[in-house]
């Protein structure tokens, strides 16, 4: 039996991606801190299709040892797709940042994503039909003043994953590495970024996607071969394309 791992599946883009992959008959391993939300999602998926096998794993990915433990716990399973979606933001100018929150953000957005990507690549680079999808942001390709540390963390996700995609291509590996780069999407993300309950997207944002629409883009990215990046542009159109950053393959 093959599985798709989705981190950050307890809300937003990860939650809707789980439903979209379940609708395609994919067995799932769902990861987040809020176990009760994962259990609710598991019950919902099994109500939709009892044949889809769902495993839930509680993990705090702001603790690097938990990322290692998570991966080790999943060693017995055959994982055809790994989606590093868990992430958080921090909205303030650098001088006023909440450093505790920024440090947590860097550990989830960068450190755990790097650990989980590396361990997955080590085991699955030569496995037919495998994919690693890392969730970056449109802000991983354009710096947002007022959320610079968040943007920089997503620049890391984009550069790391584009570089990995090139390394895999040069090696002739079977594993594909891809990046989803959403723009504003209606989830719990903004309310957590600005520490405000119940952010109203309709009242405050002129344009945004729903999490369900974003999960549809995730599926498009998953289903298309020979693409590296799925990115939302300034007009809120979604594009599938090759890598965006320049790559140097020989340092001499």
Ligand X SMILES: NC(=O)c1ccc[n+]([C@@H]2O[C@H](COP(=O)([O-])OP(=O)(O)OC[C@H]3O[C@@H](n4cnc5c(N)ncnc54)[C@H](OP(=O)(O)O)[C@@H]3O)[C@@H](O)[C@H]2O)c1
Q: What is the crossing angle of helices 12-23 and 211-223, to 10°?
A: 50
End-to-end CA distance of the chain: give it in Å, rounded.
Answer: 46
Edge-first strand listing for the sheet containing 54-58: 54-58, 27-32, 2-7, 78-84, 131-135, 176-181, 229-232, 238-241
Dist. CA 48–CA 23, nearest whole Å: 8
Residue 230 interacts with ligand X (CB under 6 A): yes or no: no
Q: How far is the CB of 145 from ligand X (least distance, A)?
A: 16
Can residue 102 be called a binding residue for ligand X (CB under 6 A)? no
Nearer to ligand X among residue 182 and residue 230 (C-beta): 182
The residue within the footprint of ligand X, chosen from 3, 4, 5, 12 (CB under 6 A), is: 12
Site membership for ligand X, residue 64 (CB under 6 A): no
Among 20, 22, 32, 54, binds ligand X (CB under 6 A): 32
Span from 32-40, 69-77, 120-128, 198-206 in contact with ligand X (CB under 6 A): 32-40
134 close to 177: Cβ distance less than 8 angstroms = yes
Q: Is 2 a residue that touches ligand X (CB under 6 A)? A: no
Q: Pick the catalytic residue from 71, 120, 124, 150.
A: 150
Q: Is residue 222 flagged as an active site residue?
A: no
Among 178, 187, 229, 231, interactor with ligand X by CB under 6 A = 187
CB 140 within 8 A of CB 149: no
**Do residues 166 and 155 touch, judged by C-beta distance below 8 A?**
no
Nearest to 225 by CA among 167, 175, 182: 175
The verdict on whether 150 is a catalytic residue reads yes
User: Is residue 11 within the footprint of ligand X (CB under 6 A)?
Assistant: yes
Among 22, 54, 74, 86, binds ligand X (CB under 6 A): 86
Rounded Cα distance between 10 and 164, Å, is: 27
Catalytic residues: 150, 154
Residue numbers at the binding site for ligand X (CB under 6 A): 8-14, 32-34, 37, 59-62, 85-89, 108, 135, 137, 182, 184-185, 187-189, 192
């Amino acid at each position: 039996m093959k599985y798709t791992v989705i981190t950050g599946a307890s809300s937003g883009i990860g939650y809707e991606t789980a439903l979209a992959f379940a609708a395609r008959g994919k067995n799932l391993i769902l990861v987040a801190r809020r176990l009760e939300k994962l259990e609710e999602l598991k019950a919902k998926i099994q109500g939709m299709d009892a044949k889809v096998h769902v495993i839930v794993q509680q993990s705090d990915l702001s603790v690097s040892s938990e990322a290692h433990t998570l991966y080790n716990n999943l060693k017995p399973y055959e994982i055809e797709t790994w989606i590093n979606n868990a992430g958080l933001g921090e909205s303030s100018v650098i001088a006023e940042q909440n450093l505790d929150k920024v440090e947590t953000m860097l550990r989830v957005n960068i450190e755990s994503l790097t650990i989980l990507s590396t361990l997955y690549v080590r085991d699955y680079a030569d496995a037919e039909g495998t994919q690693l999808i890392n969730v970056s942001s449109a802000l991983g390709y354009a710096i947002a003043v007022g959320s610079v540390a968040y943007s920089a963390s997503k620049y890391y996700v984009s550069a790391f994953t584009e570089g990995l995609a090139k390394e895999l291509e040069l090696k002739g590996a079977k594993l594909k590495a891809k990046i989803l780069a959403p723009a504003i999407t209606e989830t719990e993300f903004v309310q957590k970024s600005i520490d405000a309950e119940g952010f109203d997207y309709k009242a405050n944002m002129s344009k945004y996607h729903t999490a369900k629409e974003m999960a549809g883009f995730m599926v498009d990215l998953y289903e298309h071969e020979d693409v590296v990046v799925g990115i939302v542009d300034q007009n809120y159109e979604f594009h599938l394309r090759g890598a965006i950053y320049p790559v140097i393959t020989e340092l001499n």
